[in-house]
Every structure is written in structure tokens, then in C-alpha cells.
């Protein structure tokens, strides 16, 4: 059995760099063996101070490196499919940042490749499942503590968007988290999606309509809505309010400390996802490493990646026509049942 995961991190941008720090400083049982970025200078900067790590410009070279026995993919979503298929062929543990891929067809190819391999190798980076508050709400739902879950209200607000963030990416890159969260909370597939475009902020870059209101239904008729607002300026906020037969549960509000001083009271707004979900990323990556070291894979699967990609596809269509669009899913392979 492998004693240490020697991880190749593909993509040394905002998220890849954060995961490299986590793998080399806080995660037990794993080391960074290689960092790959088309911008080699970025890869070189990212391995500084990490003994034994090499910087490369080509993902395939890292996968063929005998010192590498696992891969963490943190390139932009449209590049995931190619690296995933090559990593599956190597039969090594894979942590793929969300989205698995941006559309259902390419995600299905990844599912098919894993099914052909005969065992699971991919964990998708839906880190919210590892957040303490998400876990707590999930257990209220699963244990039926407040009766049946009836509705979910989500807010997903980012301070601003990086260059090149398209209108479709409000769905593919951001609401994809809520697609997974709603499936995680309800244990059901999402059946339909509608997107309403109302009054828009002047702060959105050209081509983006921001905010958007996404309305969803699940198999048993749970209704959910998402306010996606990615140029909200004031800070980062991800919240959910769940309505049950016997009560309401809210998660994701502002965290302390609450200070009163010099004639003022208040606290600080969370600036970004690193601060809001830092602990969840640590738990996510540690559980990937722990499972991989015992020859297993846990957490969100390639099926979850595919199902959320199918939601994204329906969501992007709904963005264009304003209609309620049905989510089309292939039959679930036995590997994921």
C-alpha cells in the first residue's frame, strides 16, 4: 500500500497555489511532487521552498513522472476533460476542482472512462460538502429532525469576477456549487431550472447580466432558489436558509468577532472563498488523501460532476430563453449506486 501520496498539481493559479500550500503545510500523508503550469514561471514560483518538487509546463510529463502517484487538477474547467482522461488511464487518485467539465457531454465521457476502468478514481472539488455548517444542515435533513424539508433559499455573492468571466460562467462556474449543494441536501436529482434576469448592477463587466435568480425543483418537489450575484462589491457571502415542516435553519451568515469600540459596533465582511471555505478545503483534501492511501475514493463523484454539468447545461439554456428547462440525465451507472 502507498504510504505517501506524491501529488502533481496541474495549474498554479489562485486555487492551485492555495492547494499547494495546503498539501505542503497542513495535509498529512501527502507531498507536492510536481507543479505544472503552461506559465512555467508560475510553476517555479509555486514550488519554492518545497523540497523534492519539480516545476513543469506539460501535464502529461507530470503524469509520466515515476515520482507522481496522484493528481490534483486546478486548471480552468474547460481544460479538465483532457487531463482527467489521461489520469484515469494511469489509474491514479484524482482530485478535480469543480466543475468536473463545463458541459454534460464531456462529463459523460469522463464517467464512461471511469466506468470502463471498473473502480472510482475521481473526487470532484465540491468543498462545501466538507464545510461544518453544510454538514450540520445536511444531518438535520437526513435525520428528519424538523420534519420534511420543503424549500431551500440560497445566496451566492462574490465581490467581483476575474477577467474573462462570461455570463454563462455565472451558472457553470458559480451556481454549479448550488446545484451540488441542493443535490447533497436533498439526496435527489434536480429536475428543472429557470433563470430570471431582472434589474442588473452597473458594476458588472460587459456581457454579464448580474445578479440572476435561479429557480429549481427536485424529484420530490422541493423548491429551491439561488441569488447569484458575482459583482456584489462588499465581500464574499454564501448562505442557505432551509424551510422545514417544523422550523427554519440558516447557515452561512457573518462570523464573529463582534466588536464594540470607539463608539462603533460590528465585525468584518468575509473577503473571499479562501477565508469562507479555508477549513472546508483542508478537510476535503485530507479526506481525499486518507481515502487514496487506503486505495479508495470518497466525496463527490464523477457522477455528481456529470449531474451538475447537466444542470449547468439546462441552466445556460434557461438563461437564454427564460423558460423552465428540464434537466436531462443518462441512467446512473452501477459504479455510483
Ligand X SMILES: NC(=O)c1ccc[n+]([C@@H]2O[C@H](COP(=O)([O-])OP(=O)(O)OC[C@H]3O[C@@H](n4cnc5c(N)ncnc54)[C@H](O)[C@@H]3O)[C@@H](O)[C@H]2O)c1
Interface with ligand INS includes 174 (CB under 6 A)? yes
Interface with ligand INS includes 158 (CB under 6 A)? yes
H helix intervals, the chain: 14-25, 40-46, 59-63, 80-90, 104-117, 132-142, 169, 176-186, 273-293, 302-321
Interface with ligand X includes 15 (CB under 6 A)? yes
Nearer to ligand X, 75 or 308 (CB): 75
Q: Find how far residue 18's CA is from the centre of its chain.
A: 14
Interface with ligand INS includes 173 (CB under 6 A)? yes
CA-based radius of gyration for the chain: 20
Residue of 304, 74, 11, 274 whose CA lies nearest to 177: 304
Distance CA(12)–CA(47), nearest Å, equals 10
CB of 107 to ligand INS, least distance (A): 17
Distance CA(68)–CA(127), nearest Å, equals 24
Interface with ligand X includes 138 (CB under 6 A)? no
**Contact at 8 Å (CB) between 220 and 188?**
yes
Q: Residue 153: beta bridge partners?
A: 225, 241
Interface with ligand X includes 38 (CB under 6 A)? yes
Residue of 175, 172, 130, 176 whose CA lies nearest to 157: 175
Interface with ligand INS includes 167 (CB under 6 A)? no
Interface with ligand X includes 125 (CB under 6 A)? yes
Binds ligand X (CB under 6 A): choice among 5, 6, 8, 16: 16
Interface with ligand INS includes 134 (CB under 6 A)? no
Grid-cell match 476535503, residue found? 284
185-214: contacts with ligand X (CB under 6 A): none
| CB-nearest residue to ligand X | 13
Helix (H) or strand (E) holding 96: strand 94-97
Binds ligand X (CB under 6 A): choice among 6, 42, 129, 154: 42
Which phi and psi angles does 121 have, rounded to 5°? -130, -15
Q: Which stretch binds ligand INS (CB under 6 A): 58-66, 131-139, 173-181, 301-309?
A: 173-181
Q: Which stretch binds ligand X (CB under 6 A): 36-44, 144-152, 182-190, 305-313?
A: 36-44
Distance CA(278)–CA(27), nearest Å, equals 13
Grid-cell match 490534483, residue found? 72
Binds ligand INS (CB under 6 A): choice among 273, 281, 303, 306: 273
What torsion do the CA atoms of 194, 176, 271, 249 make, to the nearest 10 degrees? Answer: 70
Nearer to ligand INS, 93 or 102 (CB): 102
Nearer to ligand X, 82 or 227 (CB): 82
Nearer to ligand INS, 142 or 233 (CB): 233
129 binds, among ligand INS, ligand X, none (CB under 5 to 8 A by kind): none
Cell numbers at residue 230, please? 458575482
Which phi and psi angles does 238 have, rounded to 5°? -130, 115
CB of 273 to ligand X, least distance (A): 5
38 binds, among ligand INS, ligand X, none (CB under 5 to 8 A by kind): ligand X
Residue of 176, 55, 33, 186 whose CA lies nearest to 107: 176
Interface with ligand X includes 103 (CB under 6 A)? no
Q: Residue 279: beta bridge partners?
A: none
Distance CA(240)–CA(252), nearest Å, equals 7
42 binds, among ligand X, ligand INS, none (CB under 5 to 8 A by kind): ligand X
CB of 63 to ligand X, least distance (A): 12
Nearer to ligand INS, 6 or 129 (CB): 129
Binding stretches for ligand INS (CB under 6 A): 158, 173-174, 177, 230, 273
Binding stretches for ligand X (CB under 6 A): 10-16, 36-39, 42, 59, 74-77, 79, 97-98, 125, 127, 173, 273, 277
Amino acid at each position: 500500500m502507498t504510504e505517501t501520496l506524491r501529488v502533481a498539481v496541474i495549474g498554479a493559479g489562485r486555487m492551485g497555489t492555495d492547494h499547494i500550500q495546503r498539501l505542503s503545510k497542513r495535509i498529512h500523508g501527502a507531498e507536492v511532487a510536481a507543479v505544472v503550469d503552461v506559465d512555467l514561471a508560475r510553476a517555479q514560483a509555486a514550488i519554492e521552498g518545497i523540497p523534492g518538487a519539480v516545476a513543469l509546463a506539460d501535464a502529461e510529463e507530470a503524469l509520466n513522472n515515476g515520482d507522481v502517484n496522484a493528481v490534483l487538477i486546478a486548471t480552468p474547467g474547460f481544460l479538465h476533460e483532457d487531463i482527467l482522461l489521461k489520469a484515469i488511464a494511469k489509474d491514479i487518485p484524482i482530485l478535480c476542482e469543480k466543475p468536473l467539465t463545463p458541459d454534460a457531454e464531456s462529463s459523460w465521457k469522463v464517467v464512461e472512462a471511469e466506468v470502463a476502468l471498473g473502480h472510482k478514481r475521481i473526487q470532484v472539488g465540491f468543498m462545501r460538502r466538507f464545510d461544518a455548517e453544510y454538514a450540520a444542515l445536511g444531518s438535520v435533513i437526513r435525520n428528519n429532525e424538523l420534519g420534511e424539508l420543503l424549500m431551500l433559499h440560497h445566496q451566492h455573492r462574490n465581490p467581483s469576477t476575474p477577467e474573462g468571466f462570461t455570463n454563462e460562467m455565472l451558472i457553470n462556474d458559480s451556481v454549479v456549487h448550488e446545484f451540488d449543494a441542493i443535490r447533497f441536501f436533498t439526496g435527489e436529482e434536480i429536475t428543472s431550472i429557470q433563470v430570471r434576469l431582472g434589474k442588473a448592477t452597473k458594476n458588472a463587466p460587459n456581457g454579464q447580466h448580474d445578479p440572476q435568480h435561479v429557480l429549481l425543483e427536485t424529484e420530490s418537489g422541493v423548491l429551491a432558489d439561488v441569488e447569484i450575484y458575482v459583482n456584489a462589491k462588499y465581500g464574499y457571502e454564501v448562505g442557505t436558509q432551509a424551510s422545514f415542516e417544523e422550523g427554519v435553519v440558516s447557515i452561512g451568515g457573518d462570523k464573529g468577532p463582534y466588536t464594540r469600540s470607539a463608539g462603533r459596533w460590528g465585525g468584518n465582511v468575509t473577503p473571499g472563498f479562501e477565508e469562507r471555505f479555508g477549513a472546508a478545503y483542508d478537510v476535503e483534501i485530507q479526506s481525499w488523501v486518507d481515502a487514496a492511501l487506503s486505495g479508495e475514493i470518497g466525496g463527490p463523484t464523477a457522477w455528481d460532476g456529470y449531474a451538475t454539468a447537466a444542470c449547468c447545461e439546462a441552466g445556460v439554456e434557461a438563461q437564454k430563453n427564460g423558460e423552465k428547462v428540464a434537466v436531462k440525465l443518462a441512467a446512473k451507472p452501477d459504479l455510483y449506486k
